[in-house]
Amino acid sequence: MKNSLSTISHIENIPLTINQIGSKAQAGFPSPAEDHAVGRIDLNEILIKHPVATFFLTVKGYSMENAGISDGDYLIVDRALPAKHNDIVIAEIDGDVTVKRLYKRNGILKLKAENLTYPDIVPVPGQEWAIWGVVTFIIKPAK
């Protein structure tokens, strides 16, 4: 199995502030009265609930495209959250790191790809498995 992730980084508690617009963005016709910044927000407050247990990484590969995760996207991963059925998780299998959807029902455990051209990963006896954390946010480039 090839690594489907690269660039794992721990998130430091560094203020990440940007200007905040006074309202939500219109998906229809914009309002000219609401086009100026009214304050600053700290992205840590929005994106990170457990700073010590949170890291981010870059996705490499296409196995999660139908979940909206593409090659080059950034994932924010929280190790403090318990992984539950249907969560998107970061897992290590025999030393390879991957992002997949956790399937955990009726005694069946597997990691499911969100692209039909990739097989599910089912643990076999003697294989080393570990769930590193739960994906909480996907950050995508707009260009």
* 49, 63, 110, 112: the active-site residue: 63
Half-sphere exposure of 12 (CA within 13 A, CB side): 2
Residue 6: active-site member: no
List 6, 31, 84, 100, catalytic entry: 100
Write out the DSSP string of 69-132.
--TT-EEEEETTSPP-TT-EEEEEETTEEEEEEEEEETTEEEEE-SSTTS--B---TT--EEEE
Residue 4 annotated as catalytic: no
d(CA 7, CA 74): 9
List, by residue number, the catalytic residues: 63, 100
